[in-house]
Each structure stands twice: as structure tokens, then as C-alpha cells.
Structure 1
């Protein structure tokens, strides 16, 4: 029987939000370092297994109940593949050919992908004209990042960047899928995260003979990077994210998207000595503008400024548990 958890204070939630952004922003550095001794598939395999084991310890300690419905387990298995296995493999493969900073920038396209999937594929939201404009602005930002005027490297760079867009499309698909099929299952944030990562890890275990067997070269930096990527980035940070999501609501919690690329770019430059071209941060700013439009943030901000808050009434962000992500939804993650 699960024990009821006491609601965290505002300072604790803010701290977990910042830590989550730092850890997820660092994930691209950890992947890059891990690739020095492991194959892309081995990096994805290790992070999922370590993340699943870490979350499993918390589930046991909290005595969390697992769902009994076969339907819920089926949906969670689908999410384990679309939200974990596929994007983790794509990002790890892509980072053989691009910098960790650029990978963190591409990860920021997740909210735009989510708007597209939720509005056009699953139709759980009706996109407003301003949101469609945001999608187009986001696409323009991606084109600035790719910089086709500089010439296209069809052997490495462009396929890698398309792979990262494929990964964020997987995230967008999964977030919309969550709202469509698992938003009212009653699972706790911890249970959802454990099933999501744990079933993804189970899939990777089944695929071990196909994708994960091969030579490895383990040294201290590689081992530490993979442990941090798995235990923190794919384990503990999920709990921090879900705490923030439920305390602040999806809109405020999703602003972690703005932290991760900054952390990723800075760490790539400082730790790995990566170079950054002017078009990458410029494109990132255009993408962020697209995110604001796609999530209809500007209109919401105008409404808040124009109408005084009613005393004692919770904001929509904090109280609406039916929006994408408020139950077990995820993040704009790596």
C-alpha cells in the first residue's frame, strides 16, 4: 500500500525545477562522453537500465502500487518505446556527428512537436491560428539552425539533425498519446515514471543481442557519465519533473525547455571545447518564439495582466489536471 506524500513547499518545487533543468541540460554532455567508450545503442541501453533500477528503488521504498489493467500496461509499453527507446537511440546516434550543444538546442523543439501531434494527429487539442503560426516559426528556426546556405553535409550533419528532429517528434507523439490514453489512470507520478522507463528498459533487454553486444572501452569519465545519465537524468530527474508538473501545471513546468539548451551549450563549450556558429543560438531564439506562439503563451500572459487574480482561486496552470502532461506527462527531455 502506498503511503501518502506530503505536498512539497514552493521553495522545494523551485529547487527541483532548477535541478531538473541542469541535469537534463547536462545529459547531452553525458551522452557525448559516454560515446567515447560505448556505441550509441549501448549508451541508450545503459541509461534506460540504470534509470529503471533507480526509479524501482524509489517505488519499493514508497510501496507504490502498480496498475492491474492490461490496457494500461499496453499503453505504457507503447510509451516506453516511443518516449524512451526510440528517441534515446536517435539522440545517441546523432551525437556521433554533432556537438552536444546543438543536440540540446534541437531538444527544445519538443513543445512544437507536441502541439503538432496533439492538434493534427490525435486531435486532443484544436490548434488556433496563432499556434499554427508558432509551428511555422519553429520550422523557420530549425532551418536557421541547419543553415542550408552554408552547404549541406549529406554524409553526417544533416542526417544527424534530422534524427534529432525525429527524436523530438517521438517526444511530441508520446506527450499527445499520454493525454489521449493515460491521462486518467490514477497512477502517481513516480509509478508512471517507473513504468515508462522500466518498460523501455525491458524492451532494451530483449534487444540486447541485436543492438547492445559489442566492444566497450570503460574509463572513469565514461563510467561517471553513464551513471549520471542513467541514475540522475533518466531516474531522479523524472521525479523532480513530475513534482514540478503537479505543483505548477504543464505551462510553467514546461519552461524547463528554456533551461536545458543554455546548460547544454555552455557545458559543451566549457568542458568539451565545442565551437558554436552564430546561426545556432539565432535559430534557437526563433524556435523559442515559435514555442511561445504554439503554446499560446502570449495570449495567456495578456489575459493575466488584464484581469486581476481572484483571491483564493488557483490558477488554471496549477489546477487543470486534464492538460497534456499533468498526470504522468513528461518533459522536453534528452
Structure 2
């Protein structure tokens, strides 16, 4: 039974959101590790190819075919702008910008997505959503600045800004597609479109795989299987059951999780600014999630 837009999000949706956020947080470690041996475009293509293969196998196993024609504009848009443009420009931008600057600029992505969704998808601009996103963005900025080296080139800033724009356009494009296609279809073919868009980096990928140590290649495989295939699938599942702005605001949980994972797994004790930033992220997301939901949730 469909619930109205003001109903509480179900347990499956909350689980999908939690899986997405944790895996996306883990991707920062994987990208940092694999990025030492793989060029930005090759790294994006590698994880997209792995993700497309894994998702395609699941699609066949579940007996789901091609998405309806009405879903393809949104799938193509998400594939080009989010899966391809976002991944390549983020990988590239972080080579020319410190972590703090990258976090600040890329952190505008959910804000841009909420604004676009407000106009294009007519989701509106709930006050609590805007206030919560402002608090969460301040927290994300604090975490980034606490971990940043304080240096960035204009190229790095522009690339990170392009990544944020790609994220925003891709997410807003994916939302209408989910009215016609399943979450698995939208994710599988979006990932495939992204991989095709990144094929110009195929030669570089072959060179990097041949030269990289097995551990770096395994990191690319991990990025493809989990932060790409699984996390983007659970994201699409959640997006089909809530609004773009609210789900985008939830991504500000990621910096807080990164702080926690770095503390537990890497023994990187966070400083007071990072802890405060992580707390602000959680508070901001909580405020945002209390905003009225206009989207209809499906079971």
C-alpha cells in the first residue's frame, strides 16, 4: 500500500540509505588508495565496468529486461552526468585541490540538487530542509578543512565544482526515470551509460592495470562492486521512495562516517574541529529529514 508523502520512511528505505552512506564513505579510502596507481579517467572507467558487470548479472538473475522507453532520458542523464562526469572530475579535481577545498566545493552538490529538484521536479523548498542543509554543509566544510592541507589550484576548484554540478544534474535526472523503471534497471543502465561515456579512457586503463600492484586493482574492483554497484542501487531504491532534496541532504552523513571510519580503521584520531563538524552534519541531516515529504513512498 502506498503511503502519503508525510508518512514515516519504512525500515527498508532506512536500511538502503544506511548502506549507501557507509559504502560511499568507504569509497574515499578506496579512491585515495587506487588513485596512486590509476589515472582519474581510468579509475572511473574501471569501477564503472566492474559495477555494470555486477549489476547486469543481477538484472539477468532477477529476470528484469530493458527499461521502458520513457525511462531512458533520465537514465542517460544520470549515466552521463553522475556516473561519468562526476566520477572523473572528482578524481581529477582531488589531484589539484586539498581535501578541505574539495569537500567545500563538492559539498555544494546536494544543495544544487535540492534547488534543481525544487524547480524542475516541483518538490518545493521546505524551510527545515534548507536550514538543515545549511547546518550540514557547515559541518561538512569543517570536516574537510580539518583534514585539508590548505592548498588548491583554480583547476582543482573548477573541477570539483563541475563534479558537484554533475552530481546535481544526474540525481535530478534519475528521479523521473524511477517512475518508469525499477531501481535495479535505472542503476544498471545508468552505470552502463557512464561506462560507455568513459570508454575514451580504455587505453589508459589497460596501461594502469598492467603497471599497478594487485592491491590497487583489487581496490578498483571493490569500488566497482560496493560503492558503485551496491550503493548506487540502494540509493536508487531509496530515491524512488522519497524526495530528491531530502535524500540529497542525507548524504551529509558521509563526512561524519568518514571521520568515524578513519578513527576506527586507520587510527586517525580526529581533532576537535573534525568532531564538531561531524556532529553538525548529523544535526543538519536530522533537521532536514524532519521536513515535510511531498513524494509518495512505495512499499
Return the TM-score normalized by structure 2. 0.74
Q: Provide the residue aligned with 1:79 in structure 2.
A: 78
Q: 1:174 to 1:123 in 2, by over 3 A?
A: same
| 1:49-128 alignment, distance < 5 Å | 49-69=49-69, 72-96=71-95, 110-120=109-119, 122=120, 124-128=122-126
**Structure 1's 138 and 260: CA in aligned 2 closer, same or farther, altered over 3 A?**
closer
2:5: which partner in 1?
none
Provide structure 1 residue ranges, at least 5 long, that are not aligned to the other structure: 1-9, 301-315, 328-334
| Map of 1:169 onto structure 2 | 165
Which protein is bigger by CA-based radius of gyration?
1
Paired with 1:264 and 1:151, the residues of 2 have a C-alpha distance of: 17
Deviations 1:101-144 (A, max 9, x none): 98678766543232122225x26233245555556556655665
Q: Report the Cα distance in structure 2 between the residues aligned to 1:277 and 1:13, rounded to whole angstroms.
A: 33
Q: 1:114 to 1:52 in 2, by over 3 A?
A: same
Q: How does 1:1-334 map to 2 (within 5 A)?
A: 17-69=17-69, 72-96=71-95, 110-120=109-119, 122=120, 124-128=122-126, 131-133=129-131, 144=142, 153-155=151-153, 160=156, 163-179=159-175, 181-185=176-180, 187-206=181-200, 208=202, 212=205, 214-216=207-209, 217-244=211-238, 249-250=242-243, 257=251, 259-268=253-262, 278-283=272-277, 285-286=279-280, 295=288, 297-300=289-292, 320-321=296-297
1:29 is displaced (CA, Å) by 0.6
Question: Structure 2: 5+ residue runs without aligned partners?
Answer: 1-9
CA RMSD of aligned residues (A): 4.1
Q: How many residues align?
A: 287
